């Protein structure tokens, strides 16, 4: 059982990270679900629509609609599955990769500006050191 002070820090950290994540995502210019699908394909590579649905925790029918929309926009492409002729894989197109990178740059730019505007030099150094701690927790 965690110590009471660790539990309090955990609750505050979770809340603060959630708020920051939601705020940063407000900088996206495309719908959050679409950015999430593109991000999953970028991180994990090509996958089936069913695998994408499981990854994003949505119904396969919902993902099929999202995939269709992304394909219409030219952000993803479909190709034959290498081992199962009944399936196909979807993957990022060059246009989709470029758009995803723009979204990530927009988020990072907003966050960098917020850090400069809100934090003192000492606080920026403290934040920079704290990133390694958060990374260790994420790897636990």
Domains of the chain: residue spans and CATH: 4-139 (1.10.10.10)
Across 75-102, average pLDDT: 95
Assigned token pair, 40: 């999953």
DSSP state letter for 51: H
pTM metric for this prediction: 0.81
pLDDT tens digits, residue range 33-77? 899 999 999 999 999 999 999 999 999 999 999 999 999 999 999
Where does residue 96 rank: exposed (0-12), middle (13-18), buried (19+ CB within 10 A)?
buried
pLDDT at 1: 73
User: Following DSSP, what letter does each residue of 69-123 receive, concatenated?
Assistant: HHHHTTSEEEEE-SS-TT-EEEEE-HHHHHHHHHHHHHHHHHHHHHHHHH--HHH
């Amino acid at each position: 059982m965690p110590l009471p002070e660790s539990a309090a820090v955990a609750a505050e950290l979770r809340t603060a990270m959630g708020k920051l994540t939601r705020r940063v995502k407000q900088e996206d210019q495309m719908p959050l679900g679409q950015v999430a699908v593109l991000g999953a394909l970028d991180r994990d590579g090509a996958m089936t629509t069913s695998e994408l649905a499981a990854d994003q925790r949505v119904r396969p029918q919902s993902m099929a609609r999202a995939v269709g929309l992304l394909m219409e926009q030219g952000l993803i492409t479909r190709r034959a599955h290498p081992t199962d002729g009944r399936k196909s894989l979807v993957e990022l197109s060059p246009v989709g990769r470029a758009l995803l990178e723009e979204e990530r740059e927009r988020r990072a730019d907003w966050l960098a500006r917020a850090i400069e505007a809100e934090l003192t030099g000492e606080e920026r150094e403290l934040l920079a050191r704290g990133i390694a701690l958060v990374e260790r927790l994420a790897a636990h």
